[in-house]
Amino acid sequence: MKIAVLSGKAGTGKTLLSVNLAYVAKEATYVDCDVEEPNGHLYFKGSEDAKRTTVSRKFPVIDDGKCTSCRVCVDFCRFNALAMAGETVTLFDNVCHSCGGCAILCPSGAISEEDRSIGEVSDYRVGSVRVLSGKMNTGEAFGIPIIRTLFSRIDPSDGTVVVDCPPGSSCAVMESIRDADVCVLVAEPTIFGSHNLDMVARLAKLFDKQIGVVLNKYEEGRENPSEHYCEENGLPVFEKIPFDKDLGMHHSEARIAAQEEKRYAELFSGILGKANKAASGGVS
């Protein structure tokens, strides 16, 4: 089973839920797709000894000797990554999408491509949990190839797959939820939380996924716009994680709460059970 943990807004508790779900699932693969700001490896300690693989993408290299300044590449590039500077073509690599078109279309064979590292994937085990974590180099703009590499490494025989998605509802998120059996949406009790819950719930529905919501930082008796949203839109609530200083401190210190205290292990096992049920088509 593959669980995608997501939230429109960042900082609502995706990593909290993801690492704890993977921990209580025992036989599990935890996949950290937040390649811009990965944090899962801080909880599953031991990444220093991980097997690392560099992820590259292709960038054009222009041979000025062969370039005839015909502008075919410059006119083709819809991302404006190539420009004429006098007689020569200059690359703005930050906006290059690596489509490869310029190299294919150049009539004088002046453009080749070279692989350049944009980040890496770490693969290691902590107990019975396999950890796959992606990390984009700082200064890079696009992390999607790293997410694709992460997904290519998943082996269903490694048990429950828990995908810790990037924030937002962008292309990187879609890439992360494409193959999920169930989407667990984490929401915090503010109008920011409910506004962004709406965005990501619509995204999950667009992909026709089973959905469950986990209300984080829940306080009994306090106004909770995300809870209202679930009621109004008929979204099942898997669990309410209470606003709890002890839980907050475990998480702040990068400890897996379910490993530290039995009450948290029970809390997250309950959520895992509901996610399993939803994934197998049952109504929660």
Partner 1 sequence: MKKVLILSGKGGTGKTTVAAAFISIEKARAFADCDVDAPNLHLVTARLPEPEIFDYYGMGVAVVDPDLCIGCGLCAESCRFFAISMNADSVAVVDAPACEGCGLCERLCPVGAIKTEENVAGRRMLYTITGEPNKDGVSSKGRKTVFSTAELRMGSGTTGKLVSEVKTALYDHADKDVPIAIVDGSPGIGCPVIASITGTDLVLLVAEPSVSGISDMKRIVETARFFDPQIAVCVNKADTNEGKTAEIIGFCAEENLPFLGRIPFDSHVTAATNAGSSIDRIDCPAATAIRSIYNRVREMVLEYPSAAEDK
Q: Give the residues lining the site for partner 1 (CB under 8 A).
A: 8-12, 15, 34, 36-37, 39, 42, 58, 76, 78-79, 94-95, 97-101, 104-105, 136, 138-143, 148, 166-171, 173-174, 188-192, 195-196, 199, 202-203, 206, 223, 225, 248-249, 251-254
Question: Shortest approach of partner 1 to residue 14 CB, angstroms?
Answer: 9
Nearest to partner 1 of 111, 203 (CB atom): 203
Nearest in space to 15 (alpha carbons), one of 244, 217, 186: 186
Distance (Å, whole) CA 266 – CA 243: 16
Half-sphere exposure of 80 (CA within 13 A, CB side): 0
Nearest in space to 29 (alpha carbons), one of 144, 204, 152, 135: 152
Residue 3: count of CB within 10 angstroms of its CB: 28
Question: Shortest approach of partner 1 to residue 70 CB, angstroms?
Answer: 15
- b or e along 234-267 (b: 16 or more beta carbons within 10 Å of the residue's beta carbon)? ebebbbbbeebeebeebbeeebbbbeeeeebbeb
Nearest to partner 1 of 113, 123 (CB atom): 113
Nearest to partner 1 of 209, 274 (CB atom): 209
Distance (Å, whole) CA 232 – CA 226: 10
Question: Shortest approach of partner 1 to residue 269 CB, angstroms?
Answer: 23
Question: Shortest approach of partner 1 to residue 174 CB, angstroms?
Answer: 4
Question: Shortest approach of partner 1 to residue 206 CB, angstroms?
Answer: 6
Q: Which two tokens stand for residue 228?
A: 């209202």
Q: Which residues lie across from 52 on neighbouring strands?
A: 122
Nearest to partner 1 of 1, 230 (CB atom): 230
Question: Shortest approach of partner 1 to residue 245 CB, angstroms?
Answer: 8
Q: Which residues lie across from 114 on neighbouring strands?
A: 59
Nearest to partner 1 of 160, 196 (CB atom): 196
Nearest to partner 1 of 174, 265 (CB atom): 174
Question: Shortest approach of partner 1 to residue 203 CB, angstroms?
Answer: 5
Distance (Å, whole) CA 258 – CA 265: 4
Question: Shortest approach of partner 1 to residue 97 CB, angstroms?
Answer: 5
Nearest in space to 81 (alpha carbons), one of 111, 66, 59: 59
Nearest to partner 1 of 152, 157 (CB atom): 152
Nearest to partner 1 of 26, 141 (CB atom): 141
Task: Judge whether 34 and 166 are in contact, CB under 8 Å.
Answer: yes
Q: Which residues lie across from 126 on neighbouring strands?
A: 129
Q: Which residues lie across from 2 on neighbouring strands?
A: 161
